[in-house]
Amino acid sequence: MTETPRTALTIAGSDSGGGAGIQADLRTFFACGVHGMTAVTAVTVQNSLGVHGFTEIPVEVVTAQMRTVASDMGVDAAKTGMLATAEIIRAVAATADEIGLGAGGESAPLVVDPVAASMHGDALLREEALEAIRTELFPRATLVTPNLDEVRLLTGVEVTDADSQRDAADALLELGPRWALVKGGHLDGSPRCVDLLSDGTHRIELDGPRHDTAHTHGGGDTLAAAVTAFLAKGLGVGDAVSAGKAFIERCVAESYPLGGGIGPVSPFWRLAPEGTPGPPAS
């Protein structure tokens, strides 16, 4: 018998292709050494070429998953990903308060990754649900981690440079989260990827290399999940985001082609630094 590890809960959608959503979160939690638990919100039908559709899980089943793991196993940190509908968002927010997640609850940090669409541009959120993310979820978040498209949808700020990145962080913080991370990875033309983490008082610039790869499926989920894992292990937000950024950089550098479209980022390196044993895949 060994010691019980820290626990992390992801409240998110399933990606049948295994590279994003719940599947990315679980493999990241595992690679970062925490026990992963899930509240599935929706099941997508997708492969590397795109999302063919999704079905949401009945709202009472989503909240029951949250309550059931929290009451028995405990949650050291949680994250939200694809939440699909305003009804699910409202129920997740209320249940987060009830089980002690995020600012409205008592103790466990809550990372909100406001997933709106896949990399192919396929919607993962019903249109009326954006407002519920703003009003129900953001005020409860310890940290929000939108990509630049989600920043624009949520705040109207178009991030094109360092100044607008700061404006975006301020606009996100006005919606109520304790911290906002504005990622710079998608700023075209820059050889570096400078992310901005702010709580309104502290502005921390996180600088890293930008890897040119087409295979970045699940990148946002993997970063948010790694930060959640490090928060579960007891790091503060600044340290957890720095550790998460170091983790995702390597996952992007080691992403792989799979199928005919966008392949996933990969946490394999963390488990088998010398290369995965066994015969090559093809």
What length is written for the chain?
282
Choose, by CB under 6 A, the member of 6, 13, 159, 251 that binds ligand PXL. Answer: 13
Cα–Cα distance list, 78 to 9, 84, 232 (Å): 5, 18, 8
Record the tokens describing residue 194, joined without a space: 């400078």
Residue with tokens 């953001």: 138
Residues binding ligand PXL: number (CB under 6 A): 15
Which of the residues 55 through 84 are near ligand PXL (CB under 6 A)? Answer: 81-82
- Residue 183 CB, shortest distance to ligand PXL, in Å, is 13
- Residue 81 CB, shortest distance to ligand PXL, in Å, is 5
Choose, by CB under 6 A, the member of 59, 69, 115, 180 that binds ligand PXL. Answer: 115
In a 10 Å sphere around its CB, with 0-12 CB exposed, 13-18 middle and 19+ buried, how is residue 48 labelled?
A: middle
Q: Give, to the nearest 10 degrees, the angle between helix 219-232 and helix 21-31.
A: 40
- Residue 279 CB, shortest distance to ligand PXL, in Å, is 30
Of 102, 59, 63, which Cα lies nearest the Cα of 84?
59
206 belongs to the binding site for ligand PXL (CB under 6 A): no
* Residue nearer to ligand PXL on the CB measure, 36 or 220: 220
Q: Which residues bind ligand PXL (CB under 6 A)?
A: 12-13, 15, 20-21, 44, 46, 81-82, 115, 118, 124, 218, 220-221
